[in-house]
Amino acid sequence: MSSRAGDKSKSTVKSAIELLVTVGIAVGLALLIQAFIVKPYRIPSPSMVPTLKIGQRILANRLISKPSVGDIVVFHPPKGADPTTNPICGNPSQGGGHDQPCDQPTAGQSSQTFIKRVVGGPGDRIAIVNGHVIRNGVREKDSYIAPCGGGDACTFRQSIVVPPGHWFMMGDNRGASDDSRFWGPIPTSWVIGVAFFTYWPPDRIGFL
């Protein structure tokens, strides 16, 4: 074999190794980003309509573990949200203007992943009238919500105070959302990330 042929063979091997290393680094970075920084989620229910529809895809920033009021958040709810568990407070039949939403999380953390909007933070006083959140005596600016429909789950006039280190979560589709009204606020440690972008379907691409 000539020297030129040998050099060419070594160059081909070197190029193949460089390609494999590059691909490996790219895959590693993608996995690292998904695990610790940005992760995609699919909307499984109509609870966030009209903001997010069933099947819509979003990206959540996992570096933001402490949300703000108004943020759309990916989180683990209390076990009271599980289908086989009965919440200890906040039953929808308690609504209709004569009782209060759940002021403490039901016991235990669920393995489910929910996506809702933060409507109250630590120390906020919360009441709910016709699906509208009254936070510290002021009705939220809620042009993003769907009408509640007037059911028992729409009004809890007796206010509660969100405990320190907790967040009160509600879906934008107030008449069809299983949320903090029924199983309580969530602690900061159960927050997975804050949704910031929707990438599917194409006609809804944009920042949240």
Owner of token pair 């992943």: 113
Structural tokens at position 90: 């906040």
Measure Cα distances from 192 to 65, 159, 161, 186 in Å.
Answer: 7, 27, 23, 11
Is 116 an active-site residue? yes
Is 39 an active-site residue? no
Q: How far out from the chain centre does Cα 206 lie?
A: 17
Query: CB under 8 Å to 67, separation ≥6 — which residues?
Result: 73, 118, 121, 167, 191, 194
Q: Active site residue: 79, 110, 116, 177, which one?
A: 116
d(CA 105, CA 95): 18
Structural tokens at position 115: 């996506």
Contact 157, 97 (CB under 8 A): yes
Q: Active site residue: 2, 11, 14, 47, which one?
A: 47
DSSP secondary structure string, 70-105? T-EEEEPPBGGGSTT---SS--GGG-TTSS----SP
Task: Provide the strand spans (E) within the chain.
Answer: 38-42, 57-61, 72-75, 114-120, 125-129, 132-135, 138-139, 156-161, 166-170, 186-187, 191-200, 206-207
Query: What residues are labeled active site?
Result: 47, 116
